[in-house]
Amino acid sequence: MTQVAGCELCALAAPAVFENEKFAVILVDDANYPGFARVIWKDHVREVSDLADEDRLLLNDAVWTLELAVREVMAPLKVNVASLGNVVPHLHWHVIPRYADDAHFPAPVWAQAVRTTPADVLAGRHALLAELAAAITRRFASR
C-alpha cells in the first residue's frame, strides 16, 4: 500500500466507524450536516480509474452500503455522492444527506450558504448519529 507523508487521509486522523484493510468509513464532524459521512480508500490512489477492477467494485459497494445506512437513519430528502479530491488528492467519497431546510439546498454544500437551519432541527439530526454509526457497522459487517 502506498502511503504519502503529509497526506491527511493517509494519516486518517478521524476514528473510523467501520474499517477493513482496504477502506475506512467515517462520520464527518460538520455542524451543518449531521450524517455527512465518507468512505476513505486506504491506499494513496488519486482517481477511481486508478483502481484495479476488483477494488473499484469493492469501493462502489462501500459507497452504496453507506448511502443505504444514511438513508435508513437520516431519512434525507436527497443524497449527494461525490469524489472530488482537489485539495487532498487521495481517493475518498462524500455521502451527504440533504434536506430542504439545510444551509445550501438545493445548491451543492460547496456553494454559498443560503439559510440557517433551525437549531432544534439540527439537534434532532445530531441526535441520530449514534444510530447512524450502528447502522453503518451493521450493514458493513453483513457485506
Residues in touch with a second copy (CB under 8 A) = 46-49, 56-57, 60, 63-64, 67-68, 71, 78-87, 89, 98, 105-108, 110-112
Q: What is the largest CA-CA distance in the chain?
A: 45
Q: Nearest distance from residue 52's CB to a second copy, in Å?
A: 12
**Residue 33 one-letter amino acid:** Y
Q: Nearest distance from residue 95's CB to a second copy, in Å?
A: 10
Pick the closer one to a second copy by CB: 57 or 130: 57
Contact indicator for 76, 98 with CB cutoff of 8 Å: yes
Measured CA to CA, the distance from residue 57 to residue 93 in angstroms comes to 14
Pick the closer one to a second copy by CB: 78 or 126: 78
Measured CA to CA, the distance from residue 109 to residue 103 in angstroms comes to 8
Q: From the CB of residue 140, how many other CB atoms can be counted at a distance below 10 Å? A: 19
Q: Nearest distance from residue 35's CB to a second copy, in Å?
A: 15
Pick the closer one to a second copy by CB: 47 or 127: 47
Q: Nearest distance from residue 15's CB to a second copy, in Å?
A: 25
DSSP symbol at 135: H
C-alpha closest to that of 41 among 78, 66, 68, 73: 66
Pick the closer one to a second copy by CB: 53 or 120: 53
